[in-house]
Amino acid sequence: MLNMEESLAPVEKTNEDVLSMVDVLKEEAELEEEANAVLGDSDDQNCTYPMGYVSRQALYACSTCSPENPAGVCLACSLECHEGHELFELYTKRNFRCDCGNSKFPGSTCKLYSEKDASNSQNAYNQNFKGLYCTCHRPYPDMEDEIEDEMIQCVICEDWYHGRHLGVDSLPPCETYSEVVCADCMKKHDFLWAYNVQSQDTKCMVKEEVKSEVDVEGASPVKTQETKENGSDQGTSDDTDNKMSCLLKDLQKRGTSVQGSGSFWQDGWRNKLCKCADCMVKYKAGEIEFLTDEVDTVHNYEQRGRNKTTPCSQYDKGMQALSSMNRIQQVEVLHGFNDLKSELTDYLKKFAENGKVVREEDIREFFSGMEARKRQRATGPIPFMCK
């Protein structure tokens, strides 16, 4: 996608310390791969509107075009219709239809797909569309916030939270969980606590417990506090033997520890949610049916993005020097990827035109310049990457 043939031609690698254009392109390919991970299936050419409510896509809010009315535009629209505007990076959201040029954008039309309805009634807009995040309703990055903290996305409401505002004393070790549900969402869907039986230190036991659940019915090993789950599902099928047994009810019998905090979930936890008829009704009523779908996870989405490109093959010494540099955050890459392409091309053109060889420090200089410029730009939250 980057055509630099002409500008590349005159530059040749003369000795070990010099980076070839091929090296630079390899680095670019790697950046592109990372950008692709964040972009997932998102299309950078076509407005996604005709696809309807897309299960997951990269989204942006434009405060230049739609300062009052929260609205979201797709990746292609962010590039084509809102270039140079003040954009909030929203990372990815589920079940959203592109708003570009609709009634939320007085005086501007979509250059890519103008036949849109006035509004998309099923779109959900949280405070992120106004550039605010977390229970503290602050922007990100937050110039007034001196505490170093990570932003973690709740997989249900998709808002972003400071680690310190999830209601836990300290975050569990990164490698012990892959998804987080915020305190508000846990309160709203408090039956989920039944699945979150692990406290920090019993975490590794969970797999076994859940697996053997049906066999140990009646046993009550970790009785903490009876769940206050009340209502329809309790009495209905408890006594019906011929009905498919409900894992949730089994878990609830053993006691659920309801807490006032956010919750942390291991890889694959969604597969373990009960899918009996009663539970499916419950998910539907709470509008969280997506939880039973692995495809909904950001991980799955990113994987699809990664699979779109073949990873670049080998790096030489110059590349090692390059790769040791401070890696540009994925989202920043995504945000500035087009800038990077054209700026790098321009930068290298100068060398080509003057018949100059590009040295390692020239490349370093270029990338550090890029990073400095990126830091000045307001970006969205850094997605939580637990790898």
State the residues that interact with Zn ion by CB under 5 A: 47, 62, 64-65, 74, 77, 81-82, 85, 98, 100, 110, 112, 134, 136, 154, 156-157, 162, 165, 182, 185, 246, 248, 274, 276, 279
Which CB, 81 or 348, lies closer to Zn ion? 81
Please, what is the minimum distance in Å from the beta carbon of residue 24 to Zn ion?
32
200-213 burial, b at 16+ Cβ within 10 Å, e below that, comes to eeebeebeebbeeb
- Nearer to Zn ion by Cβ, of 10 and 139: the residue is 139
Write down the least CB distance from residue 248 to Zn ion, Å: 4
Which residue pairs, CB below 8 angstroms and at least 24 apart, start in 137-144?
139/378, 140/379, 140/380, 140/381, 141/378, 141/379
Based on CB atoms, which residue is closest to Zn ion, 262 or 318?
262
Shortest reach from residue 274's CB to Zn ion, in Å:
3
Least distance from C-beta 173 to Zn ion, angstroms?
21
Residue the block writes with tokens 């890459």? 333
What type of residue is 33?
E
Q: Rounded to the nearest whole angstrom, what is the least distance from the CB of residue 313 to Zn ion in the complex?
A: 35
- 150: Cβ contacts below 8 Å, ≥ 6 apart: 162, 163, 171, 382, 384
**How does DSSP assign 289-338, residue by residue?**
GGGG-GGGSHHHHHHHHHHTSPPP----HHHHHHHTSPPPPHHHHHHHHH
Closest to Zn ion by CB, 64 or 303: 64
Q: How far is the CB of 277 from Zn ion (least distance, A)?
A: 8
What is the side-by-side order of every strand in the sheet holding 73-74?
Answer: 73-74, 54-62, 87-96
Provide the CA 21 distance to its chain's centre, in angstroms: 32
Q: Cβ distance 154 to 180 under 8 Å?
A: yes
CB of 149 to Zn ion, least distance (A): 8
Looking at this protein, which amino acid is placed at residue 101? G
Structure-token pair, residue 378:
């307001």
Q: Which residue bears the tokens 């975050």? A: 171
Output the smallest distance, CB 287 to Zn ion, in A: 12
* Closest alpha carbon to 283 in 209, 188, 378, 218: 188
CA–CA separation, 323 and 11 (whole Å) = 22
Ordered DSSP codes for 138-159: B-SS-TT--S---EEEBTTT--
Of residues 38 and 274, the one with the C-beta less far from Zn ion: 274
> Which residue, 38 or 81, has its beta carbon nearer to Zn ion?
81
Closer of 47 and 348 to Zn ion (Cβ): 47
CB of 7 to Zn ion, least distance (A): 31
By beta-carbon proximity to Zn ion, the closer residue of 282 and 374 is 282
Q: Which is nearer to Zn ion, 39 or 358 (CB)?
A: 39
Please name the residue ranges forming H helices in 66-195: 75-80, 183-188
- Strand (E) or helix (H) holding 373: helix 360-376
